[in-house]
Amino acid sequence: MSDDYAGDDLTGLSDSLGELYEEFAGSEDSAAQFDSPLEDDWQIRPMVLTMVPLLAALSILQMVSGSVLETFEEVLLTNPALLILVPVQIGTAGNLGSIMCSRLSTQLHLGTFEFTLDNPEIRSNSGAVIGLGLTVFTLVGVAAWAIGRALGGTLGFVDVLTISLVSGTLLAAFVVIVSLLAVSTSYRLGYNPDDTTIPVVTNVCDITGVLILFAVITLVL
């Protein structure tokens, strides 16, 4: 690098920066950096080849979720509050999973992701998601009971709130575990977590949310 730059001499600064750029652009290390395989993550073809089979498999999983939901049709139709809970539980779980996966993927790209319980960022993110779940599912339980009563439902407030809060908390904990596994597994297999984790987590939580919700309903009622 040139020693011409001193003080406020902008001409010397310009010359120095130009020499530095030429040195960097001509080095083999810099060329290797620009040829990094990470460039493939931004190409359309690898993304399509990864996502098409994945989305096809997840679509089948969604069909299974619908089939499971159909088996509880009679219970849902006789209890409007529970019918209201189903889409809200599933949708909220997907939102929590998207938040968790996005934050973990960002940590991975920044080089701060470490799949251990000793990682304070993982603990704080997990606690935040579960805390959000407790808050949101409490409000959802109250709203579902109120709307259910307006529609002629007979379930008590405590029953609806218990079902919503217990199933929601279990689902939030499940979201945390699946998000951590999805990000870690995607990275280990060489896939970009930005492409794969959110579809996987949201779809897995759909069927799991239905199963958890009706398991809690069976225990409470």
Tell me the DSSP string of 43-111. -HHHHHHHHHHHHHHHHHHHHHHHHHHHTTHHHHHH-HHHHHHHHHHHHHHHHHHHHHHHHHHHHHHHT
Over residues 177-218, the pLDDT tens digits come to 999 998 888 888 888 888 788 888 888 888 888 889 889 988
In 3D space, the residue among 183, 164, 177, 166 whose CA is nearest the CA of residue 205 turns out to be 177
Closest CA relative to residue 93, chosen from 178, 15, 157: 178
* pLDDT attached to residue 21: 52
Q: What is the pTM (predicted TM-score) of this model?
A: 0.70
Measured CA to CA in angstroms, residue 5 lies from 17, 23, 24, 25, 212 at distances of: 10, 17, 19, 21, 68
Rounded to an integer, the average pLDDT of 143-170 is 91
When pLDDT is averaged across residues 137-151 and rounded to a whole number, the result is: 92
pLDDT of residue 36: 42
What confidence tier does 20 reach under pLDDT thresholds 50, 70, 90? low
Mean pLDDT of the chain: 78
Q: Among the residues of 27-43, which ranges form H helices?
A: 28-34
pLDDT at 142: 94
Q: What percent of the chain has pLDDT over 70?
A: 79
Q: What is the pLDDT of residue 48?
A: 72
CATH of the structural domain 43-220, one choice from 3.40.50.700, 1.20.1530.20, 1.10.10.10, 1.10.357.20: 1.10.357.20
Counting residues of the chain whose pLDDT is more than 90, the rounded percentage is: 22
Burial of residue 158 (CB within 10 Å: 0-12, 13-18, 19+) is exposed
Q: Give the Cα separation of 166 and 173 in Å (integer).
A: 11
Length of the chain: 221
The pLDDT of residue 43 is: 67
pLDDT digits (tens, 9 = 90+) for 42-97: 567 776 777 777 777 777 777 776 777 777 777 777 888 888 888 888 888 888 98
d(CA 138, CA 145): 11
Spatial separation of the C-alpha atoms in residues 18 and 53, rounded to whole Å = 48
